[in-house]
Chains A and B, each alone.
Chain A
Amino acid sequence: MGKPSDLIQGTLDLLILKTLTAEPKHGWAIAKRIQQVSEDVLQITQGSLYPALHRLDQQGLISAEWGQTETGREAKFYELTKTGRAALKTETAQWERLSAAVGLVLRNA
């Protein structure tokens, strides 16, 4: 458990979008944040993170811009677009429905 390849397809996208709701972040910070919040259960490797980021960028859900970190390093910051925000909303709702349904089946079947 906990390996990114085990994440259900599309879940990583959802997590990335969610991570970006508060403020723009660069790739490293996104991975770090997911790891922290999930209490180290979810570890995102670069090998899945960057393809996902670029896919979301190509789909127009997030947009990227070069900027500087607090420590003065340059990094590419990703920001949620309007479409991305809307997508996050529907995806979250769907995820909740799905997980609730899975929970129901696991408890009652």
Chain B
Amino acid sequence: MRWVHVLKLRARSLFRRAAVERDLARELHSHIELQVEEYVARGMSPEQARQAALREFGGIARFQDDVRDTWHASLLGDLRRDLRYAWRGLSRRPLLLVVSILSIGLGVAVNTTVFALAKTLFLSPPSARDAGRLVNIRLARSSHASYEQWRALSTSGALAGVAGYQIESEVNWLRGDAAVTLVPMLVTANFFDVVGVPVGRGRAFTAAEARAELDPRVVVVSDGFWRSALGADSSAIGRAIMLNGSPYTIVGVLAPHIRGIFGYGSAPEVYLPLSKTLLPYLGEPGAPIVQLVGRLRDGQTVGEGRAAFTAAAQRAEGMMASPADTGFARLEVFAPARGLSQAGPPGSVAAFLAVLLVIVGLILCIACANVAGLLLARNAERRHEIALRLALGAGRARLVRQLLTEGLWLALIGTAGGVAIAAPLMAVLNGASLPFPMPIDLGLSLDASVVGYAVMLIIVACVLSALVPALQATRMALAPTLKDDGRTVVGPRMTLRRLLAIGQVAVSLTLLITATLFVRNLARTQSLDPGFDTAHTAVAQVAFVQDRYTRETRDAMVETALDRVRAIPGVVSAAATTGVPLTIHAGRTTGTTIRIEGGKDGVHVEFSGIDVGPDYFATMGMRTVSGREFRRTDDQGATPVAIVNEEFVRRYFGGRDPVGRTMDLPGDSGAVPTEIVGVVSNAKHRTLGEATRAAVYASLGQQNGDSRIVFIIARTAADPSMLLRPMRRVIGQLDVSTAVEVRTMRSALAFAFLPSRVGAIVVGSLGVLGLVLAMIGLFGVISFGASRRLREIAIRMSLGASRAGVIGLVLRDASLVAGIGMALGIAASLAVTRPLAAFLVEGLSVRDPLSYLGTVVTLAVVAIASSWIPAWRAARIDPVAVLRQE
């Protein structure tokens, strides 16, 4: 272990200098004492002995230095000296220090944060016992397996276990005297046994007690729910909470900050075992119930697991009631469970993160270029010193190392700055409340791998920003540098600094164009006409407890609620519906072959649809183009009726008025001849950016009405937010077990605006950051360039050049750099922004001329502004004073 010993000593002499010095002094002192002792033993008096010993010893300081030299014959010793030297130099230039630290700090902070985000979403396994053995399983045809399929697969023994989960249902939780809608994680009884989610208090439910057939009434809650809803009460375990009107006993609380199996940071508040009570269609053959997650046996590889599972699925398919190709036996995905549930990375999120990674990478490049530019300028000022040292025989490698040390300092402080900025940035992201139906806990944190990534970036940044300047500075020809003393009349035209500035301008132009595209996209999205009025309506989501109402009592209750809402002052009209466009309850989309009266047999149609009550279209602010709205009389006893939209008419009726004609729509028991009674204007259904869809609206009174959720929409001439409280009150009074959530239409649609809003905010602010950093760089280059030309400017002025002329001179310099940079930037943008098309709404091109024009103008203005100060300063010099400096 010799090297350990040596390393320890080296480190000691490096970092604990004082202690080592003391030790040496003590040792020498002890030597003298021993000598004195001997002389005394030989018969000298103590006084004489001490003098003799000291005389013999000679100058202590002389050889103390020799001893010290043995400590420093190493790279580490040099490093220590270099660090001190570099720090002295840097601390004399606070501006350089501050700009560098801010540039690198910001660059590193945004990179680290995006990395943490990508890690959370794509690289982090769910919180589970031995998560590496978990696999996502997806059968062909459907994202969800039926209950029957799950049971067959989980008992097949192909894997150590197969569990299922879903987050598509809602339950009403009675909190105090009002019901709140929760999105629970509904899981198969063996879920906790198979996955092994860490539990903080109590326990998870077991497969034995939670079988769906037992109608289990147990619940496991999240740590967040326990804290916010149960007041972190440790006696909560064993108590019951009222869900859908029934008591469910809390058996356990999960550990804090669980990474849910579904991914995306989703953090369900309650975990409930599947049951017929919660999902009435649980046992129906083929009904999609759960997504599957499996656990490999010990020693089983993913490949072996896949083979065993496929075989088991095929055996099981043979035993199914209808052994037709149900897609059961074929696997679509069988892969280790990572950050996202169904393994297939959802395109848009992954692509957006990829775009973000590129953007923040570019920002870091701009930041590095800033620092490199500043160091180049600084080294240029020290040309004389460096040349002198080279002339005196300093090795180039040694000098480069010394200059690199400055970069190391900047990088070290930059990391500290970056981490200091990243931490609150992540906190903001963690705390961002997104309009999702369940809590999101991204759990971004500065863990080891994130900090490691930051350190790696720092090393790259340090090398990028300090190595080039160091090489450049030490490559100079000695003689001319020493002679001219750095005071040339005309500098070189195209220096490395200018190239850097050109690159910065080009990169920041590309960033800005990207940012502008996203911002324009948001503006476009917001101005897109959804086809209905979002400014004067409020929506109440009314969720009934399953089985508490019959069809008739529910309809009666909706009628009562509507009457009461209509009675609220200011309400113009109100209507009921089973869905609200552009929300997660946007209704169904059907693709089927139907017969249309007067048309050919069997036309394939695709349409969106919701069931709506009387006055729906008037309340939503949609036009009735032809025919009528639904009436109260369009109920179960009457002729089945439907209303279609203009797009449906254009596609399937060739534009002729279909009112009064009949088509066969799919019903529960075969085709139902349905009369078209009206045509309404087009509206968006699922996304704002979608192409116009054909739509068929059915009468709420005629549909089966197993829908547990009904929306009541109210229209007012005034501010719809005035309706929130009264609507909440009058509907809530009807039945406390019913969950009522009232929002203005605008806020109900927040979900639809989310992607474009997130894109615009995130990319927009990153673009601005890039712009600011690039402008700092440009400012530095121009002011440095001007200061190097002071002599030239002074001569020109004494020869009669006007101040305006001098300003023009400097500005010309700036516009050359900015102009070339922007030209390159435009070319680069045209080439690289093409993939962004996926994020933009229809009608906004990635080559949107307005975005390009706006960006170029902005950049030009900022470039002129940032070179104006140096130009102005140059024009105000006193030529006599400058020339006298000779």
**Could you list which residues of chain A lie within 8 angstroms of chain B, going by C-beta atoms?**
26-29, 32, 45-48, 50-51, 54-55, 57-60, 63, 69, 71, 73-76, 81, 83
State whether the Cβ of B166 lies closer than 8 Å to any Cβ in chain A.
no
Can you sample 7 A-B contacts with CB below 8 Å?
A28-B30, A50-B63, A51-B70, A54-B71, A58-B10, A60-B2, A74-B26
- A8–B27 Cα distance when bound, in Å, is 26
Q: Are B70 and A58 in contact (CB under 8 A)?
A: yes
The answer to whether A69 and B34 have CB atoms under 8 Å apart is yes
Q: Which 3 A-B pairs have the closest CB atoms?
A: A28-B34, A47-B63, A60-B2
How far, in Å, is A32 (CB) from chain B's closest CB? 8
CB-defined contacts of B24 to chain A, threshold 8 Å? 50, 54
Contact of B30 among A54, A55, A60, A73 (CB under 8 A): A73
* Interface hits, B56-78 → A, CB 8 Å: 57-58, 62-63, 66-67, 69-71, 73
Contact (Cβ within 8 A) A58 B71: yes
Q: Does B589 contact A (CB under 8 A)?
A: no
Chain A residues positioned under 8 Å from B57 (CB to CB): 46
- When the two chains form their complex, are residues A26 and B34 in contact, meaning their CB atoms are under 8 A apart? yes
Contacting residue for B33 out of A32, A48, A59, A73, CB 8 A:
A73
Per-residue contact bits, chain B 1-42, to A (CB 8 Å; 1 contact, 0 not): 011011001100100000000011011101101110110000
- Knowing A50-B67, A54-B70 are in contact, say whether A74-B30 is a contact too (CB < 8 A): yes
Write out the residue numbers on chain A whose beta carbons fall within 8 Å of the beta carbon of B30: 26, 28, 73-76
Q: Do residues A60 and B6 form an inter-chain contact, with CB atoms below 8 A?
A: yes
Chain A minimum-CB-distance residue to B20? A54
Kindly provide the distance from the CB of B846 to the nearest chain A CB, expressed in whole angstroms: 63
Q: Inside 8 A of A29's CB, which chain B residues have their CB?
A: 34
> What residues of chain B lie closer than 8 Å to A46, measured between beta carbons?
28, 31, 57-58, 63
Question: What's the Cα separation between A51 and B69 when bound, in Å?
Answer: 8
Question: For the complex, what is the distance from the CA of A69 to the CA of B9, rounded to whole Å?
Answer: 25
Contact A58 B2 (CB under 8 A): no
Task: Return chain A residues, CB-CB under 8 Å to B63.
Answer: 46-48, 50-51
9 further contact pairs, Cβ within 8 A, besides A60-B2, A73-B34, A75-B31 = A26-B34, A28-B30, A47-B62, A50-B67, A51-B67, A59-B6, A76-B26, A81-B2, A83-B2
Cβ contacts under 8 Å, B3 to chain A: 60
Query: 1/0 per residue B44-63: CB within 8 Å of A?
Result: 00000000000001100011
CB distance from B884 to the nearest CB of A (A): 54
* A27 in complex: contacting residue of B31, B38, B73, CB < 8 Å: B31
A58 to B66, CA, bound (A): 14
Give CA–CA (A55, B28) in the complex, Å. Answer: 16
Residue among B9, B28, B31, B37 making CB contact with A57, cutoff 8 Å: B9
* In the complex, chain B residues whose CB is within 8 Å of the CB of A28: 30-31, 34-35
Complex contacts, B6 vs chain A, CB 8 Å = 58-60
- Complex interface: chain A residues within 8 A of B5 (CB): 60, 63, 81
Distance between Cα atoms of A31 and B709 in the complex (Å): 98
Please, which residues of chain A bring their CB within 8 A of the CB of B34? 26, 28-29, 69, 73, 75
Q: Considering the chains assembled together, what is the distance between the CA atoms of A80 and B34 in angstroms?
A: 22
CA–CA, A8 and B13, complex, Å: 28
The reply to whether A76 and B58 form a contact with Cβ atoms under 8 Å apart is no
Chain B residues, Cβ within 8 Å of A47: 58, 62-63, 66
* Bound-state Cα–Cα, A29 to B37, Å: 12
Residue pair A71, B37 in contact (C-beta under 8 Å)? yes
Q: A81 vs B9: C-alpha distance in the bound complex, in angstroms?
A: 14
- Bound-state CA distance A50–B70 (Å) is 10
**Across-interface contacts of B13 in A (CB, < 8 A):** 58
Smallest Cβ-Cβ distance to B36: which chain A residue: A73
Please name the residue on chain A nearest to B64 by beta carbon: A50
Q: Using CB atoms, name the residue of chain A closest to B4.
A: A60
Are A50 and B27 in contact, CB atoms less than 8 angstroms apart? Answer: yes
Task: Find chain B residues with CB under 8 A from A75 CB.
Answer: 27, 30-31, 34
Q: How far is the CB of A91 from chain B (nearest CB, A)?
A: 16
Within the complex, the shortest CB–CB distance from B331 to chain A, in Å, comes to 60
* Chain B contacts for A60, CB-based, 8 A: 2-3, 5-6, 9
- Chain B: minimal CB distance from A50 (Å): 5
Q: Closest approach, in angstroms, between the C-beta of B17 and any C-beta of chain A?
A: 14
Of all chain B residues, which has the CB nearest A63? B5
**Alpha-carbon distance A77/B138, docked complex (angstroms):** 72
Least Cβ–Cβ distance between B641 and chain A, in angstroms = 96
Q: How far is the CA of A48 from the CA of B63 in the complex (A)?
A: 8
CA distance A66 to B37 in the complex (A): 19
Q: How far is the CB of A71 from chain B (nearest CB, A)?
A: 6
Q: Contacts of A26 on B, CB cut-off 8 Å?
A: 30-31, 34
Q: How far is the CB of B77 from chain A (nearest CB, A)?
A: 11
Complex CA gap A51/B33 in Å reads 19
A8→B58 CA distance, assembly (Å):
23
Q: How far is the CA of A50 from the CA of B26 in the complex (A)?
A: 12
- Least Cβ distance of A37 to chain B in Å? 17
Distance from B28 Cβ to chain A, minimum over Cβ atoms (Å): 7
Nearest Cβ on chain A to B33's Cβ, whole angstroms: 6
CB distance from B63 to the nearest CB of A (A): 4
Which of chain B's residues have a CB closer than 8 A to the CB of A51? 63, 66-67, 69-70
How far is it, in angstroms, between the C-alpha of A82 and the C-alpha of B621 when the chains are bound?
A: 93
**How far is it, in angstroms, between the C-alpha of A12 and the C-alpha of B58 when the chains are bound?**
20
In angstroms, Cα B35 to Cα A46, docked, is 11
Q: Which residues of B contact A81 (CB under 8 A)?
A: 2, 5
Contacts of B37 in A (CB 8 A): 71, 73
Of B33, B62, B67, the contact of A54 (CB 8 Å cutoff): B67
Chain B residues closer than 8 Å to A76, beta-carbon distance: 23, 26-27, 30
Q: Quick one: closest B residue to A31, CB to CB?
A: B31
Q: What CA separation (Å) do A28 and B35 show in the bound complex?
A: 7
CA distance A43 to B614 in the complex (A): 117
Q: How far is the CA of A49 from the CA of B35 in the complex (A)?
A: 15
A66 CB to nearest chain B CB (Å)? 8
Q: Measured between alpha carbons, how far is A12 from B24 in the docked complex, in Å?
A: 20
How far apart are the CA atoms of A54 and B69 in the complex, in Å? 10
Which residue of chain A is the closest to B6 with respect to CB atoms? A60
- Looking at the assembled complex, report how far the CB atom of B62 sits from the nearest CB atom of chain A, in whole angstroms: 7
Bound together, the chains give a CA A47 to CA B66 distance in angstroms of 8
Shortest CB-to-CB span from B8 to chain A, Å, is: 10
Q: How far is the CB of B474 from chain A (nearest CB, A)?
A: 31
CA–CA, A60 and B3, complex, Å: 8
- Residue of chain A at shortest CB distance from B3: A60
Chain A residue contacts of B27, Cβ below 8 A = 27, 50, 75-76
Residue from B3, B58, B63 whose CB has the most chain A CB atoms within 10 Å: B63
Per the bound structure, the CA–CA distance linking A60 and B38 in Å amounts to 31
Distance, CA A85 to CA B5, complexed state (A): 16
Please, how many angstroms separate the alpha-carbon atoms of A27 and B32 in the complex? 10
State how many angstroms separate the Cβ of A15 from the closest Cβ of chain B: 17
Give the Cβ gap from B13 to chain A, nearest Cβ, in Å. Answer: 8
Q: Which residues of B contact A69 (CB under 8 A)?
A: 34
Considering the chains assembled together, what is the distance between the CA atoms of A63 and B2 in angstroms? 10
Chain A residue contacts of B62, Cβ below 8 A: 47
Q: Once bound together, how far apart are the Cα atoms of A58 and B9, in whole Å?
A: 6
Q: Which one of B6, B24, B70 has the greatest number of beta carbons of chain A within 10 Å?
A: B70
Nearest-Cβ distance from residue A65 to partner chain B, whole angstroms: 11
A44 to chain B, nearest CB (A): 12
Bound: A69/B33 CA distance, A: 11
Closest CB in chain A relative to B16 CB, distance in Å: 15
Residues of chain B with a CB closer than 8 A to A54's CB: 24, 67, 70-71
CB distance from A58 to the nearest CB of B (A): 6
CA distance A47 to B61 in the complex (A): 10
CB distance from A81 to the nearest CB of B (A): 7
Name the CB-closest residue of A to B33: A73
Question: Which chain A residues lie closer than 8 Å to B73 at the CB level?
Answer: 58
Q: Which residues of A contact B69 (CB under 8 A)?
A: 51
Alpha-carbon distance A46/B27, docked complex (angstroms): 11
Query: Which residues, 117 to 164 on B, are CB-close (under 8 Å) to A?
Result: none
Q: Mark B861-877, 1 if CB is under 8 A from A, else 0.
A: 00000000000000000
- A21 CA to B266 CA, complexed, in Å: 70
B20 CB → nearest A CB, Å: 10
B277 to chain A, nearest CB (A): 75
In the complex, residue of chain A having the shortest beta-carbon distance to the beta carbon of B34 = A28
